[in-house]
Structure 1
């Protein structure tokens, strides 16, 4: 188990692939942890050095008291990359991870060579929506949000599978302070102006059945950055790396090749 001591915080992280390979960073969604990427990592091309970690308040990472700011989450990513000696990376962020990825690219373009924003937006919801979510969280705990969360995350067929139970358990076992803290961070984030100033290769991925960040919202974010590409995965929900890992890996692998991040032949 790898734990990065950042002084005020310890983050659980994992490194996969080639120790000397092209750097890739994977940043997960609210209510999940670094295991979100388990099905994806083996499907990616050889020759990558893949860093994934659990956000503060998630998984085995420390859970400081809420609220959290998006700036703190971005600094966590920045410091973790320094800890493992990684820069000039392809950064993939899903949902809140996509907000962190945008913030990292805006702040430290030297760390981010190319960006994948998946099932996310420059702004997710609005403060009123998040205030309601936070109020319910205080009233019912995470358990009270779990079923509605899975309805937004997955199409009906996947929700009825055995695997969906595991994801529900992951959500409900997220530390309360971590879930609450990240809700506050999302509520206070509007990256429309900063993201529109980015000039780097960008791929935006959406799922046709995503009830959290619908395809039009993801497409709108892609359109902020000149030359960005938008891809829709049919039948996928909010976590396409879970319910459509092969399609997701194919899109990432093609983007890795097209950006020249890895000099290999990718079918």
Structure 2
């Protein structure tokens, strides 16, 4: 069921489904909670699944930029408080993975387990994020999205599922500009390298084997810092949850069966 809550000074859109130990899914930059449809459907018989649109995305409110990683983390905490969810497992992809990491190190007592997908302790550089913000200002998000979407999926996906790829381009291009730029600023300024010692939850690192945005080498460095296993998902680029939904679900479910509180 689609629901809305005013938390941490803004309205967030969320869906809460199923019953059992709670699992929270956190989306990537320029996407919304629908990227997790397949995984939510597969987990709701066993877990309580919370998905939400982070600030500036989907149906959630888009306050003026810039945002910080701490803004996103406090949004998540406030939503969990609102729903009276005390301890959760977190599944985050790209910037969603950074939010999950920041939450886990800030609130270790509330974090049961972590699945970190196509992410890293540091994503991109100050220069790369400033360049993207500048390009959006000079052209449009719809124009910049043409290059971004090419890194979301493998060439095979564009050939074999062109309508689906176009649909996800529309999701990206229609993201509120304030939210997209605001989260670019959060990514620009976020650097958790060497700062994950407070993370106590067991973790699994997943990455699309053909991801050019957050490549396997970045996931490998994260897995080493967390002393966590790394699994590469073949036939996937930056969003394996869409491109390889069954393989992604299988990895997440197997991990949560052990560490997610069931």
Output the TM-score relative to the length of structure 1.
Answer: 0.94
Instruction: Report if the CA contact (8 A) 1:23-1:87 is conserved.
Output: no
Deviation of 1:157 (Å): 1.6
- Equivalent residue for 1:265? none
- Equivalent residue for 1:214? 215
Number of residue pairs aligned between Structure 1 and Structure 2: 259
- What is the CA–CA distance in structure 2 between the aligned matches of 1:87 and 1:118, rounded to whole Å? 23
- Equivalent residue for 2:190? 189
- Equivalent residue for 1:6? 7
- Equivalent residue for 1:232? 232
Q: Deviation string for 1:43-92 (max 9, x for gaps)?
A: 22622011110010000000000000111110000000111111221100
Sort the Cα spacing of 1:66 and 1:259 in 2 relative to 1 into closer, same or farther, 3 A: same
Counterpart of 2:196 in 1: which secondary structure? Answer: helix
Counterpart of 2:16 in 1: which secondary structure? Answer: strand
Q: Deviation string for 1:19-51 (max 9, x for gaps)?
A: xx1010000000001111112211226220111
Deviation of 1:145 (Å): 1.2
Uncovered stretches (5+) of structure 2, i.e. residues with no partner: none
Deviation of 1:195 (Å): 1.8
Q: Does residue 1:244 correspond to 2:244, yes or no?
A: yes
Q: Does residue 1:254 correspond to 2:243, yes or no?
A: no
- What is the CA–CA distance in structure 2 between the aligned matches of 1:100 and 1:137, rounded to whole Å? 24
- The CA RMSD measured in Å over matched residues stands at 1.2
Q: Deviation string for 1:218-261 (max 9, x for gaps)?
A: 111111013x1110001111111101010001001110122252
- Equivalent residue for 2:54? 55
- Equivalent residue for 1:100? 99
Deviation of 1:132 (Å): 0.7
**Structure with more of its chain in helix, by fraction:** 2
Instruction: Report if the CA contact (8 A) 2:106-2:198 is conserved.
Output: no
- What is the CA–CA distance in structure 2 between the aligned matches of 1:132 and 1:64, rounded to whole Å? 22
Instruction: Report if the CA contact (8 A) 1:219-1:230 is conserved.
Output: yes
Q: Deviation string for 1:194-213 (max 9, x for gaps)?
A: 22442220000000111110
- What is the CA–CA distance in structure 2 between the aligned matches of 1:45 and 1:254, rounded to whole Å? 14
- What is the CA–CA distance in structure 1 between the aligned matches of 2:40 and 2:75, rounded to whole Å? 22
Sort the Cα spacing of 1:150 and 1:7 in 2 relative to 1 into closer, same or farther, 3 A: closer
Instruction: Report if the CA contact (8 A) 1:4-1:80 is conserved.
Output: yes
- Equivalent residue for 1:178? 179
- Equivalent residue for 2:155? 156
Instruction: Report if the CA contact (8 A) 1:150-1:159 is conserved.
Output: no
Sort the Cα spacing of 1:128 and 1:7 in 2 relative to 1 into closer, same or farther, 3 A: closer
Deviation of 1:7 (Å): 5.4
Counterpart of 1:38 in 2: which secondary structure? Answer: helix
Structure 1 residue runs of 4 or more that deviate by more than 3 Å after TM superposition:
none
- What is the CA–CA distance in structure 1 between the aligned matches of 2:260 and 2:116, rounded to whole Å? 18
Q: Does residue 1:201 correspond to 2:216, yes or no?
A: no
Counterpart of 1:132 in 2: which secondary structure? Answer: helix
